[in-house]
Chain A
Amino acid sequence: MAQSVLMHNPAPAQPHARGESNAHTGARNSGRALEMDWVDEIRINLSAAERRVASLPGRRTVKKDAQAAWLLKAVTCIDLTTLNGDDTTERVKRLCAKARAPVRSDILAALGFAGRDLHTGAVCVYHRFVATAVEALDGSDIPVAAVSTGFPAGLVPHDLKLKEIEASVRDGAQEIDIVITREHVLTGDWRALYAEVRDFRAACGSAHLKTILATGDLKTLRNVAKASMVCMMAGADFIKTSTGKEGVNATLPVTLAMLRMIRVYQERTGYKIGFKPAGGISTAKDVLNYQFLMKEELGRDWLEPDLFRIGASSLLADIERQLEHHVTGRYSAFNRHPVG
């Protein structure tokens, strides 16, 4: 009611609203020779980065239909994940079923999405369950992502890491989430990091390479930014924040540092690299802030699943509740939505 005074002032059109295709049509990053200047020149000021992300939720928000749309979009970017010691085949199948139908159909219908094939971005599992997931997702467009290279610590022998990647690819994984050797970053051995990731990329073949930096272990934004740049030069398709197992997982300042590196890399090479925050994003409100940052720092293209993934396990349930609230006007409960 009180909002009506604003209605005669339509919201400004967005520079990115050009009706372009959502599909990311750019060529796949082929990597390039290690350019140490691109690493050495990196400067990043923590306080300035924090101020940027602290003010963003006040500068951007979405309400009503726009909010529902953004949350639905977030669903399509989720890498629905289970990475636990007690995972079983049946557990993974259940997860895959949820990935195919992440939002209750009556809610989708109410949002005007009846009959649309809306699924999560991927299902993410350990190698052991790749074949199970591939089979369970047969006929859908949902790729299976395997965490690899001695996830989460990444301290198994290098040749075993390559073998693990190859095995997952053989089993049908289309995406490989590798962990880097943190020691290379912490000791500033960028050549070693580059060589390692280059090998991983070669082992992936046509499967997409997502490099997990384990930013919580790297500590400084400088380390994060430099590691991002090296991984992209080595051929990463995505750079990803965390395994979900470090003390600190995805944060907005870390995200900002990584997105800025993606932008620089694109400006220099033309390649668009994807971004995946993982761990700690558990509410609809959280995910919207990541989406705002993606759109503001990189643009519209980076809101689609080919360039944006969210590693999360409990986020979906919160989004479902928010979507139901949008449809009914009543606050929802977890038990009203089928689990994965």
Chain B
Amino acid sequence: MSVAHYYETMEYGPAPEADGEARAWLKRHESTFGHFIGGAFAAPRDGKHLTTIEPATGEALAKIAQGSAADVEAAVSAARTAQPHWARLGGHGRARHLYALARMLQRHARLFAVLEAIDNGKPIRETRDLDVPLAARHFLYHAGWAQLQEREFADQVPIGVIGQIIPWNFPLLMLAWKIAPALAAGNTVVLKPAEFTSMTALLFSELAAEAGLPPGVLNVVTGDGATGALLVENPGVDKIAFTGSTEVGRLIRQTTAGSGKSLTLELGGKSPFIVFDDADLDGAVEGVVDAIWFNQGQVCCAGSRLLLQEGIAEDFRRRLIRRMETLRVGPPLDKAIDLGAIVAPVQLERIKALVETGVREGAEKYQAPGAIPSEGCFYPPTLLWNVHPSSTVAIEEIFGPVLVAMTFRTPDEAVMLANNTRYGLAASVWSETIGLALDIAPKLLAGVVWVNATNLFDASVGFGGYRESGFGREGGREGMHEYLKPKVWSGRKVRAKASPPVSSADTAGFGVPSIDRTAKLFVGGKQVRPDGNYSRAVLSPKGKHLGEVGDGNRKDIRNAVAAARSAEAWAKATAHNRAQILYYLAENLSARRDEFVRSIGDMTGVSSAKARAEVDAGIERLFSYGAWADKFEGSIHAPPLRGVALAMHEPVGVVGVACPDEAPLLAFISLVAPLIAMGNRVVAVPSEQHPLAATDFYQVLETSDVPAGVVNIVTGDREALVKVLAEHDDVDALWVFGSQEASVAAERLSVGNLKRTLVDHGLALDWHDRAASEGPILLRHAVQVKNIWIPYGD
């Protein structure tokens, strides 16, 4: 090629980034790596290694250690030893370390960028301009939270040793997302990078140690899924934070159920990219490029479902196909490409197979016409047109550069189609009409919504999913809470098991009997007979028969969940309206105070003073949540762009609640009130032994303007009903207080739709202790944070 040749053709020509430094680093390690444990590289105990390849060439890149149980144990133990020292270092001390890590990343930015591009196959542009600067930003931002921790999270303590498992699509960036908040909060970490892409984690741990990070604070154990499983199972780990496939996320949920390990999951997605007919269409086309052809489409939040308003669909298709003509696929280290290599042959095969399925099912396929390298793992940018919601490619996450397109007619239909998925990670809305865009954004069931933008990320803005895209947030204040736990819950004791009373056969003889009281269930705003038409006796501690309640079964739960689901309007009611109803509940409970005092005394045998205290605390608690209803607000994040990110508190949805036996009225109110205050609908299973406190509450609900279906109450066998709730795929969250068995069942059975669980593991709460049982400590679990990014400017 000559100057004259380029002058005629005006081609770009090769523009390779130098990779000498990165290759030299590999060579220095003889391309063979151990784990990084306790501040130094450690050879795998059983000597086993895996070979990792360079996706752009298919050639071997390095050998990484295959972590065994002994390796994982060594890493966890190093982290355990370091943790108290790390926590005691204090916020400022940790802030200095995190700041040093941010500076370290900036200092070695190009080395990280080149190594990442070689190892993962993604373009150097992305590693250089996005992955590495964002990773550094995460450390700098979280240095700030460490600095402010003692003041801003004064009632929280670190969780302990965190096991973190990260995917191969953003190896360094996911490392930063995971370890920066964990370390800032005073935890120590055992990180398992993906076996395809462990290089930058190893480089990072090495340079972090050089930058003074104390031994054991960050440990890296490499290996495949088996190593990850060992980390998940290790009893010395207090929390697992996982980013990866929904399938593996489910396994982790099952494995950790009942272990007391806390869990955050950031899983898959099939995120909608909605274009209205009043959008900047060319802007939206570029948005598509950033949505699905960023990182070869191997992005969990990739906008992979294009939803076009019918009137502009054809125009948009033409513009998009024209744009595809200029996309360039090439070697990751070329500085003039848009897409690099797919991470591994197995992924490439999966993409090919899914596209074939799509075409077989009737999709029209368009692929970018530009040449792609003949060797290595490459796949052209692809558009599948004429796809329907029922097509496989519209349902399955492809995790490659493949976009599927569908049309809609109205804004309502756009929302319906967008939400017609099991996932809920992200969404993108394009419209130049502010009213439309801001109306649609809150209606999309996704943790992140971008208005006239896509794939924007920042450390100050929480990221995470709704539904089967997982739970927990990374980034922002909301993300810090995932690595902290309430101090006040630390000292909880295992709940004493009360033996159920035995019925005594005393009757009133020939005196005038009291009028029979048989409480029904409360479903959809009505008192209804249980489906099975059985009832259960309620006895006093001395065995006296106090009445009967319905013995609810799975069909009653089904009906209650359906009623709760259809009470969706509650979520959209104004916070003022919800507050009013909570105050009204308090007012009406107060009017029946004596009745409840008597009933609680009869059921539980407590003194009337204690029963009175419980009722009064319940009234006050309702007031508290009336107060919180319009005050537990979201926040506005200030990411580095001209615009804002609104962190909105949205209700989780339909929430199952199992109440403990102690404080039967106060515990019931303490759990139900925060949920309804935030707009959730509840299916509550009251105390099994003392259900009358809840059934008596029907009349309070009925007289307080609580809309039908907002609170549903099903009495019966608590453990059995919890199982039904846990397995119900239309229940979004489950709170179980009362027993370890029910907690285990709730966590284990929640995997069907990956519901959010809040369980007490059989540890008793003092419901009269406001710090432990009232306010944000529970409200945080009653909402999920949706971040709506709104760039502006004209």
A→B interface (CB under 8 Å): 1-3, 5-7, 9-17, 19, 22, 43-52, 55, 58-66, 68-70, 72-73, 111-113, 220-222, 260, 295-296, 300, 303
Contact, CB under 8 Å: B330 / A9: yes
Q: For chain B, residues 637 to 682, give those with C-beta under 8 angstroms from any C-beta of chain A.
A: 641-643
Task: Name the interface residues of B1-18: CB closer than 8 Å to any CB of A.
Answer: 1-16, 18
Residues of B within 8 A of A50 (CB): 793
Given contacts A9-B330, A19-B9, A113-B3, contact A47 B338 (CB under 8 A): no
* Residues 283-301 of chain B, each 1 if its beta carbon lies under 8 Å from chain A, else 0: 1101100100000000000
B14 contacts A10, C-beta separation under 8 Å: yes
List 23 contacting pairs A-B, 8 Å CB cutoff, sorted by A.
A6-B331, A11-B13, A11-B336, A12-B329, A13-B371, A14-B12, A14-B370, A17-B9, A17-B10, A17-B11, A19-B9, A43-B278, A43-B281, A43-B432, A47-B793, A48-B452, A52-B283, A58-B335, A64-B13, A69-B7, A70-B6, A113-B4, A300-B10
Other-chain contact of A14, B11, B18, B331, B452 (Cβ < 8 Å): B11
Q: Which one, B279, B337, B370, contacts A43 given CB within 8 A?
A: B279
**Residues of the B chain whose Cβ atoms lie less than 8 Å from the Cβ of A19:** 8-9
* A2–B19 touching, CB < 8 Å: yes
Contact status A44-B8, CB under 8 Å: no
Q: How far apart are A11's CB and chain B's nearest CB, in angstroms?
A: 5
Cβ of B510 within 8 Å of any chain A Cβ, yes or no, is no
Chain A residues, Cβ within 8 Å of B129: 55, 58
Q: How far is the CA of A163 from the CA of B335 in the complex (A)?
A: 51
12 additional A-B pairs beyond A5-B333, A47-B792, A48-B280, beta carbons within 8 Å, are: A2-B23, A9-B373, A12-B337, A16-B9, A43-B279, A45-B280, A47-B643, A48-B453, A60-B336, A61-B336, A65-B6, A66-B11
Q: Is the CB of B10 within 8 A of A73?
A: yes
Expressed in whole angstroms, the Cα–Cα distance for A45 and B642 within the complex equals 13
Give chain B's interface residues, CB within 8 Å of chain A. Answer: 1-16, 18-20, 23, 56, 125, 128-129, 278-284, 286-287, 290, 325-326, 328-331, 333-338, 369-373, 375-376, 432, 452-453, 641-643, 791-794
Closest A-B pairs by Cβ, 9 of them: A66-B13, A48-B283, A69-B6, A2-B20, A47-B791, A12-B371, A46-B793, A6-B16, A45-B280
| Chain A residue with the shortest CB-CB distance to B24 | A2
A58 CA / B133 CA spacing, docked (Å):
14
Given contacts A47-B791, A73-B7, A62 and B15 within 8 Å (CB-CB)? yes
Provide the bound-state CA to CA distance between A3 and B114, in Å: 12
Give CA–CA (A303, B12) in the complex, Å: 13
Residues of B within 8 A of A113 (CB): 3-4, 7
Output the least CB separation between B376 and chain A (Å): 8
Flag if B794 contacts A69 (CB, 8 Å).
no
Chain A residues within 8 Å of B4, by CB? 69, 112-113
Contacts of A260 in B (CB 8 A): 282
Residues of chain B contacted by A10 (CB below 8 angstroms): 14
Contact in complex: B643, A59 (CB < 8 Å): no
Q: Residue of B at shortest CB range from A11?
A: B14
- Is the Cβ of A47 less than 8 Å from the Cβ of B328? no
Bound form: Cα–Cα A13–B8 in Å = 14
| Given A15-B325, A47-B793, A49-B283, also A6-B336 (CB < 8 A) | no
Distance in angstroms between the alpha carbons of A206 and B336 in the assembled complex = 40
Which of B2, B56, B453, B791 lies in contact with A112, CB distance below 8 A? B2
Chain B residues within 8 Å of A59, by CB: 125, 328, 336-338
State whether A5 and B19 are in contact (beta carbons under 8 Å apart), knowing that A45-B452, A47-B793 are contacts in the complex. yes
Across-interface contacts of B20 in A (CB, < 8 A):
1-2
In the complex, what residues of A have CB within 8 A of residue B325's CB? 15
